[in-house]
Every structure is written in C-alpha cells, then in structure tokens.
Amino acid sequence: MKKLIVGNLKMNTTPSEFKSYAMTIATKAKGTKNSIVICPPYTHLSTAKEIFSGSKVSFGAQNISEEENGSLTGEISARMIKDLGTEYVIIGHSERRQKFKENDKTINKKIKTALANGLKVVLCVGETLQTRANKQACTFVRKQIDDDLKGIYENELESVVIAYEPIWAIGSGKNVTAKDIQKMVEAIRKEVEYLYSPKASKNISVIYGGSVGLSNCKKLLSLEFLNGALVGGASLDVDSFVVIAKENY
Ligand code: PEP
C-alpha cells in the first residue's frame, strides 16, 4: 500500500546543509511508490523548490501565520510559502501548541488560511501522557478535531491529512502499541464521520508520528489502517530517512 511519509526537520540544519540532504533524498527517492514530503525551516524552502522540482519529493513548511498579511513582524504568510512552490504545511504540531501557546482557535484559523491559499495541511493532534492515563485520550483527540476543523467544508478535506502524534511518544523513544494506534485512528475516523460523512471518514488520510525510526518503521507502516508516518528525529539522518521513506509496505 502506498504511504505518505512526512519528514519534519524542525529547527535543524542550515540552508547549505539542507542542500546536500535534499539532493540525496531526491536522488535516492527515485522509484519509490510512497509519497515523500520534506518539511524544512522556512529559510530552506527555495532550495527545496530548486532541488525537488521534477523529483518524487514534495515539500512543506512547519507553520504559517493565521493572518493573510499585515503588521506582524517576524511572521510568514501562507501566500509567501505558496509562492515558493510549497505544497504542504504542518499545523498544530504539539511543540507549537505547548511552547508557542497555540490553541485550537488559532489552529482552526491557520487551517482556513492554508486551504484558502491552496496549501495541503498536515494537522497534528494528540494527547499528553496524563490524558492517556486518565483514559481520556480518544475523547481529547476527537475534541481537538472538532475544534480544529470547524467551518472547513467536506470537499476541502481532500487537502487535509490528520497526523496522530501522542505528545509523550514524540522524541522520547517510547512506543505506542499498534492496538492503541488502531483505537485512536478509529476514534478519529468516527469523529470525521460525525462531522461530515462516512465517505469523508473513509477517505481522509490518517498518519502516525512519535519516535518512528529504523527499528519500528516496518511494523508501524505495515499497519493497514495507517496511511503513513510523520517522522521527526529520524528524518535528520538522511540515510535512515531514505530507508523509512522508500520501504514498500
Ligand atoms: C514530531 O516532532 O512530529 C515527531 C514525530 O518527532 P519524533 O519522530 O522525533 O518523535
């Protein structure tokens, strides 16, 4: 089954380091059936355009402003990144929710801005360890989806991928069981069905993120209920990432 593999470089690599990284991926990704999306820092997007044009690799940004333009020193708009050929944007990553205090209202606005500018959205959702311990994980994530997708039309969901990322599994090496992922993916699809339709629920892509690496990618990506993976730490090592991204599951 064809999978979507998204690499989130976070605030790592310089533009020149990224150039050789991107060239390696573009070369080695040839022939893969999977869809590969690399999300580097904003400063690397023009290099991404230059190197990934005509290759199997797409690229995305890690954030956008919720506003279209204006007096917002230091912010980057959806239109700016779209103009650079960017196809995707990650919205609602837990690091932005926690460290930059983004709430569901802001995230909802960012999704609308992204879609209005023709970008595809990787919407990140996921619970804390405490929420999981309280047996509220599915309820919590369903509420995030409900709030984040408010006012988004069913036909726009074609451009939305939901990334389930349990916060406690990100960068921690902690593994979530396949059973827990399956339960969450079902909960996410139920919420999409409740908000939209059975068709929307069936068609939406749901990927998993949280310490996906060489040791567990095969197991995780062969789960037929998952459409792919969001890879953070392991995407920094180009050789590991190529193995994860190219694997034919
Ligand atoms: C992430 O930050 O989105 C992520 C999945 O990171 P890691 O793979 O390092 O857990």
Q: Dump pLDDT digits (tens) for 159-214.
A: 999 999 999 999 998 878 999 999 999 999 999 999 999 999 999 999 999 999 99
To test ligand 1's pocket by mutation, which of 230, 235, 236, 240 has the most ligand atoms within 8 angstroms of CB? 230
- List phi, psi (to 5°) of 151: 80, 0
Just list the catalytic residues.
93, 165
Beta strands in 55-119 (DSSP E): 57-61, 88-91
**Does 170 sit in the ligand 1 pocket, CB within 6 Å?**
yes
How many angstroms does the Cα of residue 185 sit away from the middle of ligand 1? 18
**Does 231 sit in the ligand 1 pocket, CB within 6 Å?**
yes
* pTM flag (> 0.95): yes
Q: Confidence class of residue 29 from pLDDT cuts 50, 70 and 90?
A: confident
Beta strands in the chain (DSSP E): 4-8, 35-39, 57-61, 88-91, 120-125, 160-164, 205-209, 228-231
pLDDT given for residue 64 in this prediction:
98
How many angstroms does the Cα of residue 178 sit away from the middle of ligand 1? 17
Mean local confidence (pLDDT), 74-100? 98
Q: Are 92 and 123 in contact (CB under 8 A)?
A: yes
**Does 8 sit in the ligand 1 pocket, CB within 6 Å?**
yes
* Integer CA distances (angstroms), 168 to 63, 88, 125, 176, 196, in order: 21, 25, 12, 9, 29
Mean local confidence (pLDDT), 216-239? 95
Q: Are 52 and 31 in contact (CB under 8 A)?
A: no
Burial pattern 197-230, b for ≥16 Cβ within 10 A else e, equals eeebbeebbbbbbbbbbeebbeebbeeeebbbbb
Which residue puts its alpha carbon closest to atom 3 of ligand 1? Answer: 232
pLDDT given for residue 248 in this prediction:
64
**Does 212 sit in the ligand 1 pocket, CB within 6 Å?**
yes
How many angstroms does the Cα of residue 237 sit away from the middle of ligand 1? 13
Mean local confidence (pLDDT), 30-47? 95
The answer on pLDDT for 25 being more than 60 is: yes
Q: Confidence class of residue 15 from pLDDT cuts 50, 70 and 90?
A: very high
* Integer CA distances (angstroms), 192 to 150, 153, 225, in order: 11, 12, 15
